[in-house]
Amino acid sequence: MLSSSTTRIAARMGVKMLARVGQNRQTDLPLLQLSYYSNSNAGTSVQTTAQSHIPATTVRGAQEKWMKRFESESIPEPETSIVNIIAHVLELSGPGELGNHQNSSLNDAQISKIEELCQCRLARMPIQYIIREWDFRDLTLKMIPPVFIPRPETEELVELILQQMDTQREALFLEIGCGTGAISLSLLKHAPKSSAIAIDQSRFACELTRENAEKVGLMERLRIFKHKVVDDLPVVLSEEKFDMIVSNPPYVPSMLIPTLEPEVKIYEDLRALDGGNDGLTVIKAILRIAGRHLAKDGVLWLEVDSTHPPAIQEFLSKHGDLMGLRFLASYKDLFQKDRFVEIVKL
């Protein structure tokens, strides 16, 4: 069962909404809340009234029943949650198909499965983990806990890179913190002459990236290493030079980790979120690696907190010459937050 992000992605593909910026902005932490970005194609809304007596043995009835339950227990995005769950149980091509099945009857096995998955959602398990897959741009990727779930902002990062990348040129790029493999696989799909190396400190993430790469037929152009980024890359890559490095690193300040939504702090690997005291610990390690391993004129792309671009620019103004790096630009996401940073190797 596919999650429905087609409309959102198509809209994003048609409109370039990222602009270069240089000013500081107010603090925000998008990872404090895991949003599913429902849209008009996510399913059919169910009107619930006191006079409604639709049996829960139909799709409409089950949707209405669980919508009420989720709302009563303050589950975020209740409609998106139940629509995705029912569409998954019915093995539909996507939640947008559910509108065509509102009057369909559910058998005992389907009712039981919906109940089981809804209990997981009541326990605040992210819907991506419940249905075990999610769309990232034009790929459907497997999702398993505790591997970090890619956010919509990261789809924007990939699009921004592809807008500026010569996708027909042979290139080698590195992804630091690959998680599900979403960034590497999306770039490889649209840059057919490129190859990539992906690293992550989590064994589960490395295994999931491999599984997703095999699923979408891109494993031949991808190498995966389990490695924790501290000062440098694995020894086997010590002499490697890259045309591009990309990362959505941990950037939430440690003191804010306890304030994360239950979907995040209970189920996701917090190592993929915790960026140290100021949120910049891993980012600075990546900058050191980029200084050593980017080829001349190579580019480092980072997804960061909206308060970080000025801090990164200031850091490179002091240390960039020694590292051979220059801050090139920052870019806004669709919510007009400074989210992406571009740095070039001198």
Average pLDDT over residues 52-72: 89
Instruction: Supply angle C-alpha 148, 153, 158, rounded to 5.
Output: 95
The confidence score (pLDDT) of residue 53 equals 58
pLDDT, tens digit, 9 for 90 and up, residues 12-56: 333 333 333 333 333 354 444 455 443 334 555 544 443 455 678
User: In this structure, which amino acid lies at residue 205?
Assistant: A
pTM: 0.85
The confidence score (pLDDT) of residue 231 equals 79
Please choose, from the candidates 123, 156, 111, 177, the residue with its C-alpha nearest in 3D space to the C-alpha of residue 5: 156
Cβ count within 10 A of residue 218: 21
Q: In the chain, what are the domain boundaries?
A: 55-123, 134-345
Region of poorest pLDDT, from 6-20, 264-278, 283-297? 6-20
pLDDT, tens digit, 9 for 90 and up, residues 138-152: 999 999 999 999 999
Would you list the DSSP string of 28-60? --GGGS------TTS-------TT----TTBHH
Residue 273 has φ and ψ, to the nearest 5°, of -120, -35
Instruction: Tell the burial category of 169 from Cβ atoms under 10 Å away from its Cβ (0-12, 13-18, 19+).
Output: exposed
CATH code at 134-345: 3.40.50.150
